[in-house]
Amino acid sequence: MMILKVAWRNIWRSRVRSLVVIGAVLIGVWSFIAMMALSLGMTGGYVDNAIRYQTSHIQIHHPEFNEDKELAFMIEDDLTEDLEAKSEIVSTAYRSIANGMIRSSRSARGVAIKGVIPEQEERLSQISEKIVEGTYFQEDKNNQIIVSRELAEKLKVRLRKKVVIQFQDLNKEIVASSFRIVGMFSTGNTMADLASVFVLQDDLNELIGKDNALHEIAMIIKDVEQLENVQQDLKSTYPDLLIENYREIAPDVQLYESQIYVSLSILLAIFMLALIFGIINTMLMAVLERTRELGMLMAIGMNRIRVFFMIVMETLMLGIIGAPLGMLIGWLTVKYLNRTGIDLSGFAKGIERFGMDTVIYPSLDTEMYLQLMVSVLITALLASVYPAIKAIRLRPMEAIRKL
Amino acid sequence: MAVIITEQIEKIYNPDKVPVHALRGVDLEIDEGEFTAIVGPSGSGKTTLLNIIGGLDTPTKGKVYIAGTDISTLSGNGMINFRKDHIGFIFQSYNLIPVLTARENVEFIMMLQKKSKKERDQRANELLDAVGLHDKKNKRPMELSGGQQQRVAVARALASKPSFILADEPTANLDSQSTADLLDMMAELNREEGMTFVFSTHDQRVIDRARRVITLIDGKIAKDEVR
């Protein structure tokens, strides 16, 4: 197509000017990809942590448990067989939970005391991997407790020291028992770490006064995309239980997830807007300095549709040449940083408190690259309209005579 | 047969504010095969007349027929398309698309006419041979001399098989030798192909070669001599 050839060659008439625009697009796309990957890496880390150590994908409770945290709001049904039969569910943990106090000789704090089955938690919450002092639960020992290092510091206790846990049992009687700290964990989320301690389920249930006390079932599913389907399926099977996904359990996670997209969209809009003005400016210059030539083209019979098309194509090419290259560099940057990670611990000490990892692994879906490409295309298309209109408004006779 | 007929054309610029009568009733008939120069001092209306018969401007009053079509009724793209098929233009300068080679420039207008690639190739080659540029076909305008550029413009004007060729001061930027060569070539095309040429010019060398000279003064035909 000859007009495309003309349009393409026209771009290179003002090499430097065109390269400035192409460079701007390239750098813009590149930095946008890097920033997007960084933000998503940060959110991803946060969400992953929240799921892994706090919420899992789906949790099941007695409908009133979340409000009152009363021991009496137990899950009475036996879901074990049913849940094991579901192929979407990768791992499940059954917990009894008592809200009470943990006391050392120096201090006391309110915590959620989680009675767990060690093997289940190992598969599900991987708290075992976050043990920073001591060990995970050991076999054949009673009254073991695992607390976070932060909590131990608050209580001013050390490993292998005893602490007392205390709560109201099912009969509203205060029960207390002493536990020995076998391990300390730290997940990176200080707030969450301070709020829970882990003991063996048998030990806790004995204190509660009911062998099979069960308050929480947490599970991880195979494919997060299927989250709502699995949840819906469970809901219909167990209408009397409260079945929530991680977004419902921790609205902050959802907020964080959605907010990052909003802020990225705003940033993208700003980037596009700046790009539009840059492209319009360049193309307007290109059109105005070619007034006579455009006049000649219209005089010899190039109609307005073709002139319009030519300028649009020229603008489009100018606007998008830089994008693929910017994406390639961006992709390589993300790939590299994803392997090495960005260590923020040096200059962001407080970041752990918010439950974020100090090492960020930027990552970006292919879909995002496509979306960005489409955005650049739309930007260039929008930017092409004004210069093209300007070009076809020229009156050939006046343009030619403008000597 | 008349290629161009104008009937009492008048052109008034600025009719509302300070009216300027550029043309005051011009009757003109140019037949097929003519080699005609339109001359006249600045402000005589020469350029206006040329624009009107070239379909680049419309008269305030009167009618213009090109190859039997009343072009004063055409507008916008209709007019552009008419020019594409019926009028070959050669301007003083800025004739060629700078980013295209000589051959591509000649092909371009045929592309606008939706001619096949094969036909375009063949005709562009023939025409560039005919204007004596067989060895410059792949040069861009920048790499050609002024005279050579005008030859490409002639080839381009011929490519669309127009009813006539309108040449607006085609020799204004050329030296004597190039002017003579260009005029020889156009005269030959006129003689052998019967192509009609209408010039607007100040150049005595062009006037000397014209077979009919129409002199405009103050928007009217003052003299019309056939040699």
The domain limits of chain A are 2-50+254-401, 63-240
**pLDDT mean over A355-375:** 82
Q: What angle do CA A154, A160, A166 make, to 5 degrees?
A: 60
In percent, the amount of chain A with pLDDT more than 90 equals: 52
Contacts of B145 (CB under 8 A, 6+ apart): B178
Cβ <8 Å between A301 and B100:
no
Tokens, residue A386: 């004004």
How much of chain B is helix, strand and coil, in % rounded to 5? 40, 30, 35
Nearest to B108 among A2, A12, A299 (CB): A2
The whole-number pLDDT of residue A403 equals 37
Cβ <8 Å between A300 and B83:
yes
A32-79 residue pLDDT tens: 999 889 888 888 888 888 888 888 899 999 998 888 888 889 998 888
Q: What whole-number distance in Å separates Cα of residue B98 and Cα of residue B101? A: 8
Q: Is B42 on the interface with A (CB under 8 A)?
A: no
Domain containing residue B54: 2-226
CA distance A16 to chain B (A): 17
Cβ <8 Å between A9 and B100:
yes
Contacts of B174 (CB under 8 A, 6+ apart): B146, B147, B150, B182
Nearest to B51 among A2, A300, A397 (CB): A397
Residue A205's H or E segment, with its range, is helix A201-208
The whole-number pLDDT of residue A122 equals 87
DSSP A212-248: T---EEEEEES-GGGHHHHHHHHHHH-TTSEEEEHHH
Residues of B with Cβ-Cβ distance to A15 under 8 angstroms:
none
Cβ <8 Å between B91 and A296:
yes
The nearest alpha carbon in chain B to A292 belongs to: B94
- Kindly tell me if the per-residue pLDDT of A350 is higher than 80: no
The nearest alpha carbon in chain A to B100 belongs to: A6
The whole-number pLDDT of residue A140 equals 79
- Number of inter-chain CB pairs under 8 A, A vs B: 70
CA distance B227 to chain A (A): 31
The whole-number pLDDT of residue A402 equals 46
The whole-number pLDDT of residue A348 equals 58
The CATH code of the domain that includes B79 is 3.40.50.300
The nearest alpha carbon in chain A to B156 belongs to: A300
Domain count, chain B: 1
**pLDDT mean over A146-170:** 93
**pLDDT mean over A311-317:** 94
B112-121 residue pLDDT tens: 999 999 999 9
Cβ <8 Å between A5 and B100:
yes
**pLDDT mean over A342-365:** 71
Least confident of A199-208, A389-398, B42-51: A389-398
Q: Is B100 on the interface with A (CB under 8 A)?
A: yes
The whole-number pLDDT of residue A352 equals 62
Low-confidence ranges of chain B (pLDDT < 70): none
